[in-house]
Amino acid sequence: MHLVLDTCALVALVEGEPMRTSAIAAIEAAQDAQVLFVSSFVALEVAQKMAVGKLVLAKAGARTWFGHAVRSFGLTEVRMSANMALAAYELPEPFHKDPADRLIVAMARLLKAPVVTIDRRILAYGRQGHVEVLAY
C-alpha cells in the first residue's frame, strides 16, 4: 500500500515517538515496497517550524534532519508540481486553509494513497470521504 506521511507523522517516525501497531506495520510494508512518500513541502514546514522555535529536533538543522529522514527511512520525496499546487486549491470544500495540509492532501489524492497523520482536521476530512487517512 502506498502511504503519504504528513509533517507530524514524519517527525514522529524519525524521532521515535509512539505510534499505533497498525500504523507501524503499514509504514514498514510501504518502506519495504518503496512506496512511502513525503512531500518536498514537508521540508519547508519543518524548516519554518525549526526557524521560529516551534520544533526542536535531534539532528542539527532542518536540511540535515530532512536528508537523514529520507535516507534512513527509505522515503520517496515527491516534489511539488504545478498540478499538485493547483489541486491543493481544488479540493472539495470545506477544508481548512493551511497550505501545507492542502498540498499533502492533494498529493495523497493524486497518488491515491492514504495520509498517515494525527492532525484532527485531516482526519475529519478523511471521515468526510475526501481523502483516505491512517491515524497513527
For the stretch 27-86, pLDDT in tens is: 999 999 999 999 999 999 999 999 999 999 876 799 999 999 999 999 999 999 999 999
DSSP per-residue letters across 39-85: EHHHHHHHHHHHHTTS---SSSSHHHHHHHHHHHTT-EEE---HHHH
Q: Which residue do the cell numbers 491515524 mark?
A: 135
Residues 6+ apart with CB under 8 A from 132: 108, 113, 114, 115, 126
CATH of domain 3-135: 3.40.50.1010
